[in-house]
Amino acid sequence: MKLRAALCVAALSLIAGCATEQTSSEFKPDVNTTGDESDARSRARIHTELASGYYELGNLGVALEEVSEALRADSTYGPAYNVSALIHAELKEDRLAEQQFERALRLNPVDSDANNNYGSFLCQRKREEEGIRHFLAALRNPLYQTPDRSYVNAGLCSRRRGDLAGAEDYFQKALKVRPNQPQALYQLADMFYARGEYGPARQYSLRVNQMGPSPEALWLALRVERKLGDRNAEASYAAQLKRSFPESREARALAAGQYE
C-alpha cells in the first residue's frame, strides 16, 4: 500500500491530504464548468470520479471497472489514465502504471496532477531525478491550484537521494505558497533536529502540532524538548502522545525509553 500512503500528502489518497511521511492528495477530477461538456466527456468524468472514490476505499477491482467505463465513453480523457495508473501502481503492476501515466501526459503534457502523481511513482522507485523533473513540470502550470503538494514531494524526493539543501529549499517554497503546510513543517523540523539545530526544530514542530498533532509530530517535538532540556514541555508532549495515540509505535518507543 506504499503508493497510496505516499500520495496521501496531507488522508484520502486522491481528494484529501495528510501529514508527516504523507505526501499530498494528488488527483482531482477534471471538472468542466462551462456548460458545454459533451455527453461522452461527462460520462468519462463521472466514471473517473467514481473510480477515484473506489480507489480511496481500497476497492481496486471496482475502481478498474469504473476506469474502463470512463475510457469506453471517451478514450481521450486524460484524468482517467491518471487514475488508472494509480490503481495499477497500487496493484504493483508498474509497467502498466507507467504506460498509463505516459498516456495521460501525452494527452495533456501540462496536467499538473498527472505530473505530480508520476513524480511520486518514480521517486518511490528510486528514480529521483526523473521524479523531480515531473514535479517541476507540474509547477510550471500557472493554473495549478495546489503547488505546495509538488514542492513537498520534490523536497521528499530530494531528501531521499541525499540532497538536503535542495530538500530544504523545496519545503521552504511550499511554506511560501501555503504557510501552514503540515508536511513541509514536519520535514523541516525533522531535518533541523537531525542536524542538531534544536531551536529551529522547536519552531517548526510547534507549528505543526498546533495544526493538529499526529504521533510522529508529537514524538519529534518531545525529543526536541528533551534535547533542549525543557522537561515540562517534554512531559506535556509525552502525556499527549500517551493519551491520544497509546497504541502508536511512538508511544511504545516512549515507554521503552528509546528516543533515537
Candidates 3.60.9.10, 1.25.40.10, 1.20.900.10, 3.30.70.1230; CATH matching 1-178: 1.25.40.10
Average pLDDT for the chain: 88
Domain 181-260 is of which CATH architecture? Alpha Horseshoe (1.25)
What's at 189, amino acid-wise? A
Pairwise pLDDT comparison (4 vs 186), residue with the higher score: 186
CATH topology identical between 1-178 and 181-260:
yes
Q: Is the pLDDT of residue 36 over 80?
A: no
Q: Under a CB-based contact definition with an 8 Å cutoff, are residues 139 and 147 in contact?
A: yes
Confidence of residue 37 (pLDDT cuts 50, 70, 90): confident
Distances (CA, A) of 87 to 171, 194, 206: 28, 35, 36
Q: Under a CB-based contact definition with an 8 Å cutoff, are residues 84 and 48 in contact?
A: no
Q: Under a CB-based contact definition with an 8 Å cutoff, are residues 116 and 138 in contact?
A: yes
pLDDT of residue 30: 39
Domain locations along the chain: 1-178, 181-260
Whether the pTM exceeds 0.85: the reply is: no
